[in-house]
Structures are given as C-alpha cells and as structure tokens.
Amino acid sequence: MSEAPQTKKFQKGERTITPASQQASKYYPAEDEAQPKKTRKAIRPYKPRPSLQPGAVLILLAGRFRGKRVVLLKVLEQGVLLVTGPFKVNGVPLRRVNARYVIATKTTIPLDGLDSSIVEKVGGEKYFARDKKADKKGSEAFFKQGEKPEKKEVASERAEDQKKVDKALLAALKKEPLLLGYLSSTFSLRKGDRPHEMVF
C-alpha cells in the first residue's frame, strides 16, 4: 500500500516557507453563509393593561378613525383589541386596533346583552383575512384600465354580525342618555391643552 504524501516545510535561513497547498486562499466567497440570529429573549404571553377591560370606552389615536370613541369588545393575542363604534352611532365598524394607539377612559358599558359566540367568531384569525386578488393579466384587464374601479361591497355575513353587535350595545347605551352623545363626538386637542394632565 502506498502511503499518503506528507507535506514538508522548508526552512530558508530563519523564515519557514509553507507549501502553496497549505497557504491561505487569496479569494473569499462574496456572500457569507447566513448564521441564524440567537435571540435570548423569551416570548412571553401578552398581558393587557388593567384599564383594557371588555366594555371600556377607548379613544383611537391613529388610523382612519383617529379621534373616535369606541367600545372594547375583546382583547386578542399580542396586543390587538377588537372594538366597534357602534357603527350606527359614530360609523366605526367591527375592527382590530393596536393597544399602543388607544387611550382607555374610565367610562364602561355593560356587555351583558351581547352574544359571546359572535364576539368569538369575529375575534378569530380568519374573519379579517383579505380576499385573494384575481389575476389582472389578460384581455379583460386590458380593456378595464380606463374604467372606474368597482365599489367594494361589505359581505352580508359581516353586515349581519355588525347589526347584532350594534343592537346589543344600543340597548345598553339608551339606558344612559349622555353616552350616545359622548360616543358620537370626536376627541381632539386644542392650543394650551395638556394631555398628561387630563383625566379620561
């Protein structure tokens, strides 16, 4: 059996010359291999603020309905809140908002007449999922380029859920005459207002 060739180092004076096969390469790959990032933080379950209780009246600070007062129906996972206007009072439908962009007030509305099964259904992950867009390529899409886009219609199932939620909330709101006016008004700051000193 032939033995594997052994690499030798030649000494020239005081310097040691390494063979070309053992020398470091002059060229390196352009992209390094991606190493998975080590996260030391443990994922903890979301803990809502004590003021975020179902039935509390919230003020929205961002988004399309900023400044509106809404009723909190349920606290969902990872700081998402399920709220509604009600729609008949101030035009805010059933929607999800981030807990960071709301101010909780001391006003609460009883949710006794509200059906819990509807709240569970609306709070599901698939309820607010977007519909898949149809493929725009083709002759039909080419001829529709100049036309106005069709108005998006609300699904009948969502409209029915909104009506049921509004009916239960309006029954509770009518018992206190000032609540309807409070929810229909919008919140705004004027010159000289100090939000950090306000009591909501």
Domain count, the chain: 1
138 phi and psi angles, rounded to 5 deg: 125, 175
The verdict on residue 142 lying in a domain is no
What are the DSSP calls for 134-153, one per residue?
Answer: PP--SHHHHHTSSSPPPPPP
The verdict on residue 30 lying in a domain is no
98 phi and psi angles, rounded to 5 deg: -80, 135
Residue 154's pLDDT is 63
List the CATH number of the domain containing 96. 2.30.30.30
For residue range 102-121, what is the model confidence (pLDDT) as tens digits?
999 999 999 888 888 888 88
The verdict on residue 96 lying in a domain is yes
Find the length of the chain.
Answer: 200
Query: Which of these ranges, 25-34, 39-48, 55-64, has the smallest mean pLDDT?
Result: 25-34
Residue 68's pLDDT is 93
Residue 136's pLDDT is 55
Domain region containing 83: 56-126+159-183
